[in-house]
Structure 1
Amino acid sequence: MSEKKTALVTGASSGIGLELTNTLLAQGYQVIANSRTITRAGTLTASDRLALIDGDIADQETAKKVVETAVQRFGGVDLLANNAGIFIAKPFTDYTIEDVDRLVRTNLVGFFFVTQYAVEQMRKQHVGHIVNITTTLAEQPVAGVSASISLLIKGGLNSVTKALAIEYASEGIRVNAVAPGNIDTPLHKNDDHGFLSKMHPIARMGRASEVVDAIMYLDTATFVTGEIIHVDGGAHAGKW
């Protein structure tokens, strides 16, 4: 293991992933940042502490390259932030097989390979931490926001967070999740921010930095595993 901590961030070219990458760098981490076209996005510049890996994280070879680069350049993997994801909202009967394929590929397969490779490395180290980004809607659906298939997969990520936390606790690996509400990122640039704000008891959209705060807390909270932290202005608490 290297003296400094090394983090892997997927979906790192914008939004929460970009905010997390910059925060990790500011706090002294070495970072492997991935997105489909991260070297061309212009939001990050490679350096001696930042490696940029282009590619779809759902591709096994891309996932393998992300982890191998961390090991070869920095000596190991301390944190994996599974941030890459898409959200398709529509009535259940309107979903197409193409929608389902996209959701499964990005949100499920995009978690699967890179997490397998990261866990293999963390087991060698006897230490490591994984954080999955899910959604508060997986546990607290809202009338007027039909997104059942998106929530099916994100809810599964909440479940696997707990399962992996139990499976690997004895080997020094922690697994947690952050479940955001509506966060002001490019994902929502064309949406009705007024409507989205009203989906939280704290009636505003969240900031990417607030999700990052939760991730950074979890990475330092060495007695916390299997936890799902909601960064959602209270939306998970119930009907209001």
Structure 2
Amino acid sequence: MSTNKVWFITGASRGFGRDLVTQLLEQGYRVAATSRNLDELRKIANEDNFLPLTADLGTEASVAKAIADTVERFGRIDVVVNNAGYGQVGGLEELSDEESRANFDINVFGLLNVTRQALPYLRKQGSGHILNISSIAGTIGSFPAFGIYCATKFAVNGLSESLAEEVRPFGIKVTIVAPGYFRTSFLSSGSMSTPKKEIAEYQNVRETQLAHQQHYNGNQPGDPVKAAQAMIKITEVENPPLHLFLGEDALGLAEEKINRLTTEMKEWREITVSTGF
């Protein structure tokens, strides 16, 4: 294991990001971490191996400065973790254009800004590993109330698969990290946004929303410390996975999706193949 690697992590003041920073520093890695709240980052550690940065992921100039400051401080970047994001709850009819686009701005376009600014450094050094923190909701979308959030994570999965092929010739690796339910602050009000305008008829949406806020929150089966350890581990292997599911629940849901697709493809095969000339 090479603890000389430099990690760059977004959304590091809470949740997975914070646990990952803590684990990395304990193991002797050099870490640059971004957040909108610099004071919270500074509470994590005060040592030469740690560079807390404030960054607006929606502004390329801000992202470019954070990346450049990291390279200036540590000389390189080896692992980029696109962790920043939030959950948007609400039925598709309920959520406004503004609410929907805001979720994409952080979860997708913020990730793209970081990736776009980091790649010139990774290409020049001929190595690197990009970890895009997605979700099981990027593989299976059958969650009432989470349609927009699922859409952002499906987008992350799709662009990550393309990215992996584009950067392969440069020695850069890509991993989509897809957690299930982990006991972080993700389901709290600071990390999950609810619709400004609710429609009473969508009882299934309200039931799902309330279940996540009142039942799942604080009772998630996944240990975020172990998730951080798993993410560190895959950056030290020669051939890391493109898709890394975290949690038994995530694995089960992914298998359910695969089985459902397989069944549908077999059932409708005749119509599927009848469309050629």
Q: Give the TM-score normalised by the residue count of structure 2.
A: 0.77
Matches within 5 A, 1:152-231: 152-189=151-188, 191-194=213-216, 204-225=220-241, 227-231=242-246
RMSD of aligned Cα (Å) = 2.1
How far apart are the structure 1 equivalents of 2:173 and 2:256?
A: 28
Q: 1:212 to 1:37 in 2, by over 3 A?
A: same
How far apart are the structure 1 equivalents of 2:19 and 2:87?
A: 19
How far apart are the structure 2 equivalents of 1:142 and 1:9?
A: 30
* Count of aligned pairs between the two proteins: 230
Deviates more, 1:216-225 or 1:103-112: 216-225
Instruction: In structure 2, list runs of 5 or more residues that go unmatched.
Output: 190-212, 260-277
Indicate the percent of aligned positions where both proteins have the same amino acid: 27
Q: 1:194 to 1:106 in 2, by over 3 A?
A: closer
Aligned residue identity for 1:160:
L
Asked whether the equivalents of residues 79 and 130 of structure 1 are also in contact (C-alpha less than 8 Å), the reply is yes
Q: Please state whether the residue corresponding to 1:52 is helix, strand or coil.
A: strand
Q: Please state whether the residue corresponding to 2:80 is helix, strand or coil.
A: strand
How far apart are the structure 2 equivalents of 1:194 and 1:80?
A: 30
Q: Which residue of 1 aligns with 2:208?
A: none
How far apart are the structure 1 equivalents of 2:216 and 2:9?
A: 30
Deviates more, 1:123-132 or 1:37-46: 37-46
Aligned residue identity for 1:15:
G
Q: 1:195 to 1:44 in 2, by over 3 A?
A: closer
How far apart are the structure 1 equivalents of 2:215 and 2:229?
A: 22
Q: Which residue of 2 aligns with 1:236?
A: 254
- Once the two structures are TM-superposed, the CA of residue 140 in structure 1 deviates from its matched residue by 1.7
Asked whether the equivalents of residues 41 and 52 of structure 2 are also in contact (C-alpha less than 8 Å), the reply is no
How far apart are the structure 1 equivalents of 2:40 and 2:226?
A: 27
How far apart are the structure 2 equivalents of 1:34 and 1:158?
A: 22
Aligned residue identity for 1:99:
E
Q: Give the TM-score normalised by the residue count of structure 1.
A: 0.88
Q: Which has the larger radius of gyration?
A: 2
Q: 1:151 to 1:115 in 2, by over 3 A?
A: same
Matches within 5 A, 1:81-100: 81-100=81-100
Asked whether the equivalents of residues 12 and 41 of structure 2 are also in contact (C-alpha less than 8 Å), the reply is no
How far apart are the structure 1 equivalents of 2:33 and 2:72?
A: 15
Q: 1:42 to 1:28 in 2, by over 3 A?
A: closer
Q: 1:140 to 1:65 in 2, by over 3 A?
A: same
How far apart are the structure 2 equivalents of 1:37 and 1:96?
A: 27
Aligned residue identity for 1:229:
L
Instruction: In structure 1, list runs of 5 or more residues that go unmatched.
Output: 198-203
Deviates more, 1:42-51 or 1:175-184: 42-51
4+ long deviations beyond 3 Å: 40-43, 193-197
Aligned residue identity for 1:235:
L
How far apart are the structure 2 equivalents of 1:42 and 1:71?
A: 19
Q: Which residue of 1 aligns with 2:116?
A: 116
Q: Give deviations 1:85-129, integer Å, cap 9, x for gaps.
A: 011021111111121221121111210111111111000100000
Asked whether the equivalents of residues 11 and 17 of structure 2 are also in contact (C-alpha less than 8 Å), the reply is yes
How far apart are the structure 2 equivalents of 1:40 and 1:27?
A: 21
